[in-house]
Amino acid sequence: MTQVTAGTTDAELRELWAKKKVKLDAAEKQWRAENPLTCEDCGKPMSVDDCAIYEEAYSCLRTSGTRPPGTVCKKCAAARGIERDRQEAERQQQQRREREESRKRRIQEVQQDLSGHIAKCGVPSVLREARLDQCPDLPRDLVECARAWTQNPEGFVVLTGKPGAGKSHLAAAILAQILYDGTYWPLNCAFVSQPAWLDDVRQEYGNIESDPRPVSIPLLVFDDLGAGYLNEIRRAVVEQLIRRRDARQLPTLVTTNLSIAEIQENFGGRVTSVLQQDNRVWNLTGSDLRISGKIKPQRPARIRGDDPLSF
């Protein structure tokens, strides 16, 4: 039976379709034999087991006359994968080299004008030449501990001691070493004096968000903790600053004329606990280096009286 009529049964339809399919398969086989699918790379004919997109490639070839890109045998596909991985590794390596070269250039720029970059961090002019290898009369083990911290700044470091002991000088020297080594960039560091900062915050009635940079700057030197006029609001602002930096795990270097007991008396147990938690409270002892002339005197911090506008 070669034609389908109204009386054709299902069995006859299936038989007709089976015969038609045999003819179609034979025609397809003959066409594929006349148009063999070859590998793009090695040029060898491929079978269905050799190519992952064998049927897709033939379908594309029949309909559009072209085959899709990537029509390669499994062996060449593996070689392409290896080559692709090699090129990607070379690209990443080149990017790392470029980043490292860029970093070295930036470090050299900082090193060539170290005092200028220190000034951008807010360091007073009398401290911009402070260097760890030029710290006057400071214990060498203390200087080495400071140098070690510059390699991986973390947590809190507290420099305590009487006025003139060299705390601010050492703090500026530590900051200079961090910038010189490229551990942090100048834009990510700040040297902030507590009295001056509180005066700025005072203009906004104690709103710490009015000058949030000390809160969020990646590395902070907080100079003269406890200096100047303090009242309940000012203490709360300082406590908020220290607790926020601790919560964000931002490295912070603090200098103060107060002892740990005096810090607890002035700021409470929370601030004292945060400052002591890393066991890096370094006490500077010895004679007044300003009086001895071994370091230049700093301008004294402004102290506010009990005027009604102060807080």
Q: Are 98 and 81 members of one domain?
A: yes
Q: Are 122 and 264 members of one domain?
A: yes
Q: Provide the pLDDT for residue 117.
A: 93
Q: Are 61 and 155 members of one domain?
A: no
Residue 130 is assigned to a structural domain of this protein: yes
Are 232 and 310 within 8 A, CB to CB? no
Percent over 70 (pLDDT), the chain: 85
Residue 69 is assigned to a structural domain of this protein: yes
Q: How many domains does the chain have?
A: 2
pLDDT digits (tens, 9 = 90+) for 281-308: 998 876 555 544 455 544 444 433 433 3
pLDDT digits (tens, 9 = 90+) for 84-95: 878 888 888 899
Q: Are 123 and 251 members of one domain?
A: yes
Q: Are 142 and 101 members of one domain?
A: no
Q: Are 69 and 126 members of one domain?
A: no
- Report the CATH number at residue 171: 3.40.50.300
Q: Are 84 and 205 members of one domain?
A: no
The last residue of a domain, from among 81, 112, 143? 112
The last residue of a domain, from among 112, 130, 157? 112
The predicted model scores a pTM of: 0.66
Q: Are 92 and 141 members of one domain?
A: no
Residue 141 is assigned to a structural domain of this protein: yes
Residue 96 is assigned to a structural domain of this protein: yes
Residue 16 is assigned to a structural domain of this protein: no
pLDDT digits (tens, 9 = 90+) for 158-204: 999 888 888 898 999 999 999 999 999 999 999 999 988 888 777 65
Percent over 90 (pLDDT), the chain: 30
Q: Provide the pLDDT for residue 290.
A: 54
Q: Are 190 and 172 members of one domain?
A: yes
What residue numbers bound the domain in which 52 lies? 42-112
Q: Provide the pLDDT for residue 302.
A: 40
Mean pLDDT of 235-253: 91
Q: Are 66 and 157 members of one domain?
A: no
